[in-house]
Amino acid sequence: MGFPIRSVMNGKCVDVLGFNNANGALVGMWDCWGGANQRWYYTNGQLRSAMNGKCLDVLGFNNANGARVGMWDCWGGPNQRWY
């Protein structure tokens, strides 16, 4: 089933935008409605999408402020580890 990740600021949920299953698919905030693209599992430091099992990933290992976060095949790199 997974769980939603909600913003305290606006109550919106972290969402795999457009149900995109491709590597590099962007993640953003959307009204919560309970879809698989808004449900997550936390496993071994990784946030996995209930929609496709891919991991939340800092795209391109970008260390800068404003770096994009998206979805990528899980491989356990530091850009896919969260706490």
Average pLDDT by stretches of 10, the chain with 83 residues: 97 98 98 99 98 98 98 98 97
CB 3 within 8 A of CB 39: yes
pLDDT value of position 38: 99
Strand partners, 66: none
Spell out the long-range contacts of 54-57 with Cβ–Cβ below 8 A and sequence spacing 24 or more: 54/21, 54/23, 54/25, 55/80, 56/27, 56/80, 56/82
Token pair for residue 60?
């391109």
Q: Is this model's pTM higher than 0.85 or not?
A: yes
The DSSP code for 54 is P
Domains in the chain, CATH or no CATH each: 13-80 (2.80.10.50)
| Size (the chain), residues | 83
pLDDT value of position 25: 98
